[in-house]
Amino acid sequence: MSETLSDTFSRLAGLDREVFAIAWLSLRVSLSAVLIGCAVGIPLGALVAVLRFPGRQGIIGLLNASMGLPPVIVGLVIYLLLSRSGPFGPFGLLFTPAAMVAAQSVLVTPLIAALTRQIVADAEAHLGEQLRSLRLPAWRRAGILIFDVRFSLSTAVLAAFGRAISEIGAVLVVGGNIDGFTRTMTTAISLETQKGDLALALALGLVLIALVVAVNAAASLLRAYAARAYG
C-alpha cells in the first residue's frame, strides 16, 4: 500500500503526462456535454414552467423520470445510431470523443431541464402574475425568469457536471476506451484497477475528486458573491 501511494503521488507531483491527458479529455468531453445540455435544457425547462398546455403534467413527469436514464441504455441507443448501419454511420463518429459528448449530452439534458423547471416554477409563483399582466409572450417571460434565477441555476449545472464527469457506462459503449483517444478518467480507473495498476487508478481518482471539488467550490463562491451583491 505504501508503495502504491508513493507511486501515486509521484505521478501527480511529476505532472504525469498520461494522467493529465486523460483528465483533460474527461474535462473537455464533460464540459462540452454540459454546455449542450444547458443550451437545450434551460430554455426547455423554463418554457415548461411558464406555459400551460394539455399534457403538461405528463411532460413534467417524463422530464423527472428521464433524470434517472440508465447510462448503458443511452450508450446502446447512441451506438446504434452511430454504427455503420445506423442513420449517422456515414459520419464516422462512433468511438470518437464526439460520440462520448453526444451520449453525455443525452444524459444531462433531462437533468438540467427538470431542475430548471422546478427552479423557474418557484420564481414564476412569485413573479408570474406580474409578468402576465404586462402581456409578455411566454418566451419573454421565460427569459426574464431565467435571468432572475441565474445564480440558483448553478445547482442544475453542478448536478449535470457531476453526472457527466463521473459517468462510465455510456462513454465506454460509444467511446471504446481507446488509449490516447477516448480513454476518460472513469474508464481508465476501471481498466487500470483490473490490470492491477493501482497507482495510476488512484492518481486518476484523486484528480477526478479534485476537479469535482474545485467546480463545486467555484460555484459556492459565485453564489456567495451573488448573495452579497444582489441580496
pLDDT recorded at residue 131: 82
pLDDT recorded at residue 120: 93
pLDDT recorded at residue 155: 84
Q: Report how far residue 200's alpha carbon sits from residue 12's, in angstroms, rounded to the nearest whole number.
A: 10
pLDDT along the chain (231 residues), means of 10: 77 83 94 96 94 91 90 95 92 95 96 95 85 86 91 88 92 92 93 88 92 83 71 55
pLDDT recorded at residue 46: 95
Of 17, 10, 195, 49, the residue nearest 128 (C-alpha) = 49
pLDDT recorded at residue 8: 80
| Torsion, CA 111, CA 117, CA 120, CA 124, rounded to 10 | -170
Query: Where does residue 125 rank: exposed (0-12), middle (13-18), buried (19+ CB within 10 A)?
Result: exposed
pLDDT recorded at residue 230: 60
pLDDT recorded at residue 151: 84
Q: What is the pTM of this model?
A: 0.90
Q: Report how far residue 112's alpha carbon sits from residue 35's, in angstroms, rounded to the nearest whole number.
A: 10
DSSP 90: G
